[in-house]
Amino acid sequence: MKRFSSALFLALAALTTGVTGSALAQAQSATASKDKLELADNAPDSYTVVKGDTLWGISGKFLKSPWRWPEIWKLNTEQIKNPHWIYPGQVVYLDRNGPNGPTLSLTAPGSQASPYEKLSPQVYSTPANALSAVPLQYIQALLIEPLVTDAADLANSGTVIALQEDRVVIGANSTVFARHLAPGQDAWSIYRPGTPIKDPINGEVLGYESVLVGNARVTTPENGSTAAALQVTKVKHEVQASDLLLPTGKETAFAPVPRPAPANLDAAVASIYGGLEQTGRFGIITINAGRDKYIEPGQVIGLDRYRGNATYRGRTGDEKAQYIPLPSERFGLAMVFRVFNRVSYAIVLDSSLPVQVGDSAVAP
């Protein structure tokens, strides 16, 4: 498994949110045995950042493995304390002959000039369009939804038992009545169990990709045998009796330090988001591994395609048939951005073939 330089990884981790203790422990265990960085074929000496660029895309212009970008950004200067703080219009330079290997910087090799122009005293503002790790427009809505629920969630959910004025369905600003709400929780998400996500290997149901119906807020708490009253504050679909409720979650900030998925990961693509049969670059996939397999947001997974077996009957062609497994084909990479108990969502960032259910998801 490819690993990061401990010093550089920890420097980034100190400046980026969302890095867990287990990720830091993984970084600290990295040693000098890590693989040597390989520059991309025809890597440029410099590149001017344009609107719409991502760190993955820029790093892919310089590296054969763009997910290893924390290893190449020059972090020990005043320029790039965090590579997420790079903006369109800046020029990124490649120093191929750095003392510790190739580095990327905002000044040309050998230059000490600041990448920022010195101006007279005035009011300064920070650009609002700093580069993101991956194209956030493809995953922004998915940082809150869809909601993957399992048997435990279903057992612990609140339930809509009646609607205002005995209506069949209702919308925003209406009242719903519910039971089994946890005390002290005011904000609730209304959802409807949807498509089951099945393990592509054994067919086991890993969870349900539930439909977010809307949001509601408690106006009258549940009291003994009396149902709670909630005001519907937002709807995506019409609320129905028997819809379920879970505490409203918060959107997850996604500014990851990329790192490889666990070396022993042996998972598979369980579904393609949206009910598709295949997807490509920037498509959303689920894999049949989550917190139960130590998957975390920001981890990069390799996508492999099984090539099957070859029938071999010896050099003369008349020997007893042997079935020889062919090596799997690496055809893509994806980055995990949301994790549940037994399921994770990932965005496909590189793919030379269409991704489909059953493809292997392994360490990169």
Whether 94 and 181 share a structural domain: no
- 37 and 104 co-located in one domain: yes
Q: Is 142 exposed, middle or buried (0-12, 13-18, 19+ CB in 10 A)?
A: middle
Predicted local confidence at residue 195, as pLDDT: 87
Looking at residue 110, its pLDDT comes to: 66
**Confidence check: pLDDT of 193 > 70:** yes
Q: What is the CATH number of the domain that holds 298?
A: 2.40.10
Q: Which domain holds residue 180?
A: 145-247
Q: How confident is residue 59, by pLDDT bands cut at 50, 70 and 90?
A: confident
At residue 250, the pLDDT reads 64
Q: Are 133 and 153 within one domain?
A: no
One domain for residues 149 and 208: yes
Q: Assess whether pLDDT exceeds 50 at residue 161.
A: yes
239-242: Cβ within 8 A, 24+ apart: 239/160, 239/163, 239/169, 239/170, 239/171, 239/174, 239/176, 239/190, 239/213, 239/214, 240/160, 240/163, 240/168, 240/169, 240/192, 240/213, 241/160, 241/161, 241/162, 241/163, 242/159, 242/160
Q: Are residues 150 and 242 in the same domain?
A: yes
Tens digit of pLDDT for each residue in 197-227? 999 999 999 999 888 899 999 999 998 889 9
For residue 88, CA distances in Å to 49, 92, 114, 138, 245 come to 5, 10, 16, 20, 43
Of 222, 247, 272, which residue sits at a domain end?
247
pLDDT for 84-129, tens place per residue? Answer: 567 888 888 888 887 778 888 877 776 654 444 444 444 434 444 5
State what percent of residues in the chain have pLDDT above 90: 35
The 10s digit of each residue's pLDDT in 19-51 is 333 433 343 333 333 567 889 888 999 999 888
Q: Where a domain ends, among 220, 247, 274?
A: 247
Question: Looking at residue 272, what is its pLDDT?
Answer: 94
Q: What is the mean pLDDT of residues 3-25?
A: 34
- In this structure, the answer to whether residues 84 and 152 fall within a common structural domain is no
7 and 93 share a domain? yes
Q: Facing residues of 322 across strands?
A: 312
Question: What mean pLDDT value characterizes the chain?
Answer: 79
Q: Indicate the number of domains in the chain.
A: 3
Lowest model confidence (mean pLDDT) among 6-15, 36-45, 167-176, 231-240: 6-15
What is the number of H-type helices and E-type strands within the chain? 4, 23
pLDDT tens, position by position, 301-354: 999 999 888 998 888 888 888 999 888 899 999 999 999 999 999 999 999 999
Res 346: pLDDT:
95
Residue 144 pLDDT more than 50? yes
Cβ contacts of residue 74 below 8 Å, gap of 6+?
A: 80, 95, 98, 103, 104, 105
Q: Is the pTM of this model over 0.75?
A: no
Residue 255: predicted pLDDT: 65
Q: Does residue 234 belong to any structural domain of this protein?
A: yes
Same domain for 177 and 228, yes or no, is: yes
pLDDT at residue 90 in the model: 85
Cis-peptide, bond into residue 146, ω within 30° of zero: yes
Average pLDDT over residues 270-287: 93
- Of 142, 165, 196, which closes a domain? 142
The reply to whether 238 and 283 lie within a common domain is no
- The whole-number pLDDT of residue 252 equals 62
Is the pLDDT confidence value at 2 over 70? no
Q: Which residue from 84, 73, 68, 14 is spatially nearest to 36, judged by alpha carbons?
A: 68
Strand-pairing partners, residue 191, are 212, 244
End-to-end CA distance of the chain: 7
**Cα dihedral sign for 139, 145, 149, 152?**
positive
Whether residue 161 is found in the same domain as residue 223 = yes
Between 52 and 179, residue with greater pLDDT: 179
In a shared domain, residues 237 and 277: no
Is residue 115 assigned to a domain? no
